[in-house]
Structure 1
Amino acid sequence: MSLRPRQPSERGQLDLFQALPGVTAPRDAQDLMAYPFFSLAKSRRVAPIDFRAGDVAIRVEAMPDHGMATIWDADILIWAASQIVNARDAGLCTSRLMAATPYEILTFIGRGVSKRDYQRLKAALD
């Protein structure tokens, strides 16, 4: 019996990417809409999205328990994309693991900061 070396898990420890403080210009929503990063439906979706354009192939999958991001989550995705692009433009290393306070996210995306807004943000990130 031969043992193959184990491949590192995709869910292994990731380097932390700290969201940039201060005012960050949001990316154009058109950038985000060019590819299917989320469902345009307002209801829960678990069926994968398969997209192909020339040499580009994208498959967006959902966790069965939560579904994928929807149109209601687009502003959060714009925030995340803006953070990553601005960090890369500044020569900083990025990661799939991001850290920011809920307040930073809510104020950037123009939502309120009531208890209900925090609950909705938590639900969107679950």
Structure 2
Amino acid sequence: MADSLLPDRHKQRDFFTCDVFDSFKDDIASMEHPVFSLSKKPDHRMLVYERNDTTIKIKPSYTGLATIFDKDILLYLASALMSAKNSGESISQTVRFTSYDYIISTNKSLGGTQYKLLKEGLGRLNGTLIQTNIKTNGKEVTKEFGLIDSWEVVKEDTKGKALAIEVKLSDWFYSSILGDAVLTIDRGYFRLRKPTERRLYELARKHCGNQVTWKISLTNLKEKLGITSQMKLLRFNIKQIAETNHLPEYNISMENDVVMFTRKEPPKESKAPKQLPKYVSKKSVEKYARPGESYDQAESRIKGLRDALKG
């Protein structure tokens, strides 16, 4: 089906055609903040989140808020764009892709239902409005915008099934691509069945990253998840996931309502200093601390990197 795009490739200069890519990317801003609904039913809530100096207002369309499963579309597009960008190819804010490649890449089953779900997801992404002061690529966005600016089916089969899609990304999301404000995620993410599991993985990837551990109170975790369910249900779900241990890359455990994420194995590529100190002294922490990192955060990260390298 990718061949269906070739006839228009040299006639149109304002779109980028997705190619095959080796790794998936997620934008850091939406990994940090609960932008997407975790409900499997239409969610018509108006969401408002305030933390530190960041405020996010998320408004649904008449079809409801964009869901964590709708986000697969953005993950696919971000991955393809970053792959092309890293290869030195030119990219643009308007992207054309085949629905078949999207369905295969994001581990979805083939069938007519998926094409219908894709169009519904695009509608929710376009209709969900965000007003925020989150910074991407060093720029603070203060206007209200959709997760995507527009979308269009540019080719259908004889049964009306969408074969090729064209999407114009929002300035906010495209700015993340231009500024490399993305993280690589494991392909196993697309095998996770439950919305909460996907969100937990995102948070682990964002906050634990290549460190060995990340701890957070259950109360703060509930806020970062963006869920409205009771605390006892979240507590039960965390215990269940801890038992099955099926999150990609990370273990999860909980003690006294403190949830801890740990890496299952050391990262393949470490950005640790070439010579890590045997003991983490105050001088070492000050030397290797990153901009904006507290003393405790720097000490924990350096210890984690050292221990990971030992393993």
Tell me the amino acid that sits aligned with residue 120 of structure 1.
L
Query: Are the aligned partners of 1:42 and 1:71 in contact in 2 as well (CA < 8 Å)?
Result: no
- State the Cα distance separating 1:106 from its structure 2 match: 0.9
Aligned residues with identical type, % of pairs: 25
Alignment root-mean-square deviation, CA? 3.0
Q: Which segment drifts farther, 22-31 or 39-48?
A: 22-31
Distance across 1 between alignment mates of 2:35 and 2:97: 21
Distance across 1 between alignment mates of 2:85 and 2:47: 27
- Within 5 Å, which residues of 2 pair with 1:5-20? 16-20=14-18
Aligned to 2:69: 72
Equivalenced residues, count: 110
Post-superposition CA distance 1:48-97 (Å, at most 9, x none): 22223322222222212x212113323223223334544555674542x4
Aligned to 2:35: 37
Query: Are the aligned partners of 2:21 and 2:79 in contact in 1 as well (CA < 8 Å)?
Result: no
More strand by share: 2
TM-score (norm 2): 0.30
Residue 52, structure 1, aligned to residue 67, structure 2: no
- State the Cα distance separating 1:39 from its structure 2 match: 0.7
**Change over 3 Å in CA distance of 1:40–1:25 after alignment to 2:** same
**Change over 3 Å in CA distance of 1:62–1:53 after alignment to 2:** same
Structure having greater relative contact order (Cα 8 Å, sep ≥ 6):
1
More helix by share: 2
Post-superposition CA distance 1:19-61 (Å, at most 9, x none): 5311241125987432122111111112222223322222222
**Change over 3 Å in CA distance of 1:114–1:33 after alignment to 2:** same
Tell me the amino acid that sits aligned with residue 33 of structure 1.
M
Aligned to 2:48, the other structure's residue is in SS state strand
Aligned to 1:10: none
Give the counterpart of 1:112 among 104, 109, 123. Answer: 109
Of structures 1 and 2, the larger Rg is shown by 2
Distance across 2 between alignment mates of 1:103 and 1:48: 33
User: Runs ≥4 in structure 1, deviation > 3 angstroms?
Assistant: 28-33, 83-94
